[in-house]
Amino acid sequence: MIRINDIIDRIVENNPDADVDIVDRAYIFSARVHHGQVRLSGEPYLTHPLEVAYILSDMNLDVVSVAAGLLHDVIEDTHATEDEIREMFGKDVLHCVSGVTKLGKLSFGSAQARQAESIRKMLLAMADDIRVILIKLADRIHNMRTLGFHKKESKKRQISQETLDIYAPIASRLGIYWMKKELEDISFMHLMPDRYAEIERRVSQDRVERENYIETVNDKIREEMEKAGLKCEVMGRYKHFYSIYQKMAKQNLNFEDIYDIIAFRIILGTKYQCYEALGHLHDLWKPIDIKFKDYIGRPKPNMYQSLHTTVIGPKGQRIEIQIRTQEMDKVAKSGIAAHWGYKEDRRMDEDITQRFAWIQNLIENQESFNDPDEFLENVRIDLFPDEVYVFTPNGEIKTLPKGATPVDFAYMIHTEVGSQCIGAKVNRRMVPLKYELQTGDVVEIVTQQNHNPSKDWLGFVRTVKARSRIRQWIKTQDKNRSVSIGREMCEKRFRKHKLNFAELLRSDEMAGVVEQFGFKSVDDLLASIGYGKVTPLQVVRKFQPREEEASEGEAAQPSWLMSRITGRKRPRKPKTGVKVKGHDDILIRFGRCCQPLPGDRITGYITRGHGVTVHQAGCVNALKMNPDRQIDVEWHHEKAETFPVKILILSHDRVGLLADLAANISKNGANIMAANSETRGNNTVESRFTLAVRDTQHLDKVLAAIRKVKTITEARRIKT
């Protein structure tokens, strides 16, 4: 168990002149207000803030951060108030504690909305004061270390998925790789315990042989460096389990095919020695050209610097080697914390602030997203680690996510450049706008005044800024059209009721009606009528409240977007297992891209002439659509029917494999609608099935049964 003396000793070791009095007082206060509280592990609650504070002190953070780590839960979980914290510890500590305070008391309509708001506040706090997110990460990593004490498996999976989606990528973006790896491995262990245990077993199986191999390679590298007069430190390490799993899943590899389970690191004194050592290694062992990366000459945005090379080492095995200086190694381990500048009230120096300008850009990109699913999806895109480095014609380097296109580049330069983009030259040659940029490309954008974005661009842009600006333009166009249609519909309906719509439109009474419907302007109300979310009759009723309604027979149905989607006037129960809130007997179809099942969170989108298309709430294609076309849908639980779903099965080949698979699928009540099986190299088989299942629980049962079949290595749901 961590003690306060351990924390203070660590602070003094890193900074002998540090004023530890504030840390000591924070400990006493935290111990007093948390007295009597117990964690799920049965330990006193105080163990948690002590562990968090020790992590922060070990990262060489300032005393304000460590004190805030000791106090980070007191406002929410005890009787302590913000005024007390400010009076006793100062405004800086209060600022950090308030920023980290958990959001459990906030009330939102869904867990997704709660998570989105939590992340949004976290990102805003990160832009305001980076210490807040570092404390939050320390809090999360200790909570993950004790996650096993949760009794509910669903809760463990929920927390692990959130950690994998949000916290690990943020740690990566901040360059704190030890934290990223630990968060990923613990999440992996709880989300896929069978796969985790299998990889752990396989790594341990040949550990003695690998340890001998590590020692052989280390000795050979040291010997070569000594010959060259290069004083260095050499170490071998195992790749973390989640990284091994990702490589197996993405590249469809067996464990035996993963060549870089062991990686080596060489630590030298200077940058020039790194390049010299690289030359000697390539002279000793044959390099694999496409695996070389120079992150010293071209550092990552999170300040990470290192030379990466892969060579054919002893026994013909591929080995990955990283070469860096001691300072670079410090940054690689601690990220932004290695360049800490919060001492004696000084903010981070200008160079570090510029390096982390992506935080402010991320905030600006997210401001316009209100839908929690869309917000979370775009945060994941912004935190995506793979990047390419391209050049402007003037030689300025721009960093873009892998797969980015000239359109993404154009929007990065300026919104108007993106909107007016009609073509692009890469390395002086014209390329399609959907061309995927590569590191080293020189990009020049061709523009034309009064040109507008194309909806088709949404199919290939990769940056949140490009996507949001294109969607904003499409939404504006759709809204203008909907306002016009809504106005026309109202004029017809008002004439039928002998009312002058043009005259009423300018009246104070109309302003009151707009407010009653919850809109800010008349145009917003008209647009909603054009979209079909409000009917003209509903507006008429506000002016003629006693109007007989029965004779009208008008349901609240959409107009130009909902045309021809109601087949009958008599309400009937839905035939599809899905019902649209507020509408009866509407044509429903399911998105082929995500194939939703009962149990999935779903959303509906009005499609012209085709009724309502139902997608999974997080479907990428659904997120590309205009949010004004979105309509609430829900599963009709009384319906008992089956739905198609695609699954992928990876296995080792053997006689009778497909027969055993078919038998297990049938035995668990699922019907095989389509099947395709292909034998690949290394005696592996990739099988794709389309099954008819009742819901997500039924699918989970089928997948669990499949995983128990002999030689099966993976079975999971996939999209088309």
Q: Look up the CATH number of the domain holding residue 659.
A: 3.30.70.260
pLDDT of residue 124: 60
**C-alpha to C-alpha distances, 227 to 109, 221, 222, 277, nearest whole angstrom:** 67, 10, 9, 11
From the list 561, 546, 554, the residue with the least C-alpha distance to 492 is 554
> Which residues, including other chains, have CB under 8 Å from residue 419's CB and lie 6 or more apart?
451, 452, 453, 469, 473
Distance between CA atoms of residues 718 and 589, nearest Å: 19
Give the distance between the most distant pair of CA atoms in the chain: 99
Phi, psi of 285 (to 5 degrees): -130, 145
Which of 528, 543, 558 terminates a domain? The answer is 543
Specify if 549 maps to a domain. Answer: no
Distance between CA atoms of residues 262 and 213, nearest Å: 9
Confidence band of 225 (pLDDT split at 50, 70, 90):
very high
Task: Kindly state whether residues 39 and 163 are assigned to the same domain.
Answer: yes
Phi, psi of 603 (to 5 degrees): -145, 155
Please name the residue that has the structure tokens 């903010």. Answer: 347
Confidence band of 348 (pLDDT split at 50, 70, 90):
very low
Task: Kindly state whether residues 618 and 650 are assigned to the same domain.
Answer: no
Least confident segment among 399-403, 469-473, 629-633, 695-699 = 629-633
Distance between CA atoms of residues 669 and 663, nearest Å: 10
Q: Is 77 a catalytic residue?
A: yes
Q: Where are the alpha helices (DSSP H) in 129-206?
A: 130-145, 153-162, 168-173, 177-191, 193-205
Task: Give pLDDT tens digits for 646-684.
Answer: 999 988 888 888 888 999 998 999 999 988 888 876 778
Confidence band of 341 (pLDDT split at 50, 70, 90):
very low
Phi, psi of 129 (to 5 degrees): -155, 110
Cα 95 from chain centroid? 27
Average pLDDT over residues 635-641: 69
Distance between CA atoms of residues 660 and 647, nearest Å: 16
Higher pLDDT, residue 644 or 634: 644
Tokens for 12?
């003094």
What does the mean pLDDT of the chain come to?
80
Confidence band of 66 (pLDDT split at 50, 70, 90):
very high
Average pLDDT over residues 632-641: 73
Number of domains composing the chain: 5
Residues 43, 76, 478, 491: which is the catalytic one?
76
Specify if 373 maps to a domain. Answer: no
Distance between CA atoms of residues 615 and 495, nearest Å: 39
How does 78-89 read in b/e, with b if 16+ C-beta sit within 10 Å?
bebeeeebbeeb
Average pLDDT over residues 643-647: 91
> Which residues, including other chains, have CB under 8 Å from residue 194's CB and lie 6 or more apart?
707
pLDDT of residue 144: 93
Which of 131, 163, 192 terminates a domain? The answer is 192
Q: What is the dihedral of CA 471, 472, 475, 479, to 10 degrees?
A: -170
The pTM assigned to this predicted structure is 0.58
Which of 192, 223, 246 terminates a domain? The answer is 192
From the list 578, 608, 577, 615, the residue with the least C-alpha distance to 593 is 615
Least confident segment among 412-416, 498-502, 573-577, 593-597 = 573-577
pLDDT of residue 560: 41
SS3 62: coil
Average pLDDT over residues 38-50: 90
According to DSSP, residue 628 is labeled G
Distance between CA atoms of residues 595 and 645, nearest Å: 6
Percentage of the chain modeled with pLDDT above 70: 79
From the list 613, 610, 653, the residue with the least C-alpha distance to 633 is 613
Specify if 255 maps to a domain. Answer: yes
> Which residues, including other chains, have CB under 8 Å from residue 176's CB and lie 6 or more apart?
59, 137, 333, 334, 335, 336, 337
Task: Kindly state whether residues 630 and 658 are assigned to the same domain.
Answer: no
Higher pLDDT, residue 473 or 114: 473
Task: Kindly state whether residues 680 and 536 are assigned to the same domain.
Answer: no
Task: Kindly state whether residues 110 and 249 are assigned to the same domain.
Answer: no
> Which residues, including other chains, have CB under 8 Å from residue 146's CB and lie 6 or more apart?
39, 40, 41, 48
E-assigned strands of 440-527?
Answer: 443-447
Least confident segment among 166-175, 338-347, 398-407, 509-518 = 338-347
Please name the residue that has the structure tokens 């200008």. Answer: 350
Q: Is 24 a catalytic residue?
A: no
Specify if 416 maps to a domain. Answer: no
Specify if 557 maps to a domain. Answer: no
Which domain, by its residues, includes 668?
A: 643-718
- CA 253, 259, 260, 262 torsion-angle sign: positive
Higher pLDDT, residue 21 or 111: 21
Task: Kindly state whether residues 227 and 184 are assigned to the same domain.
Answer: no
CB atoms within 10 A of CB 442: 14
SS3 685: strand
Distance between CA atoms of residues 478 and 21, nearest Å: 61
Phi, psi of 713 (to 5 degrees): -105, -25
Task: Kindly state whether residues 519 and 630 are assigned to the same domain.
Answer: no
From the list 311, 315, 289, 285, the residue with the least C-alpha distance to 223 is 285
Task: Kindly state whether residues 205 and 321 are assigned to the same domain.
Answer: yes
Task: Kindly state whether residues 15 and 143 are assigned to the same domain.
Answer: yes
Distance between CA atoms of residues 363 and 361, nearest Å: 5
Residues 6, 24, 43, 77: which is the catalytic one?
77
Specify if 342 maps to a domain. Answer: no
Task: Kindly state whether residues 140 and 93 are assigned to the same domain.
Answer: yes
Least confident segment among 81-95, 329-343, 547-561, 637-651 = 547-561
Task: Kindly state whether residues 19 and 130 are assigned to the same domain.
Answer: yes
Specify if 390 maps to a domain. Answer: no
**What residues form DSSP beta bridges with 447?**
421
Which range has the top average pLDDT, 266-270, 396-400, 554-558?
Answer: 266-270
Least confident segment among 135-139, 177-181, 508-512, 621-625 = 621-625
Task: Kindly state whether residues 181 and 231 are assigned to the same domain.
Answer: no
Phi-psi region of 237 (alpha: psi -120 to 50; beta: other; left: phi over 0): beta
Specify if 377 maps to a domain. Answer: no
Confidence band of 469 (pLDDT split at 50, 70, 90):
confident
> Which residues, including other chains, have CB under 8 Å from residue 416's CB and lie 6 or more apart?
none
> Which residues, including other chains, have CB under 8 Å from residue 105's CB and lie 6 or more apart?
76
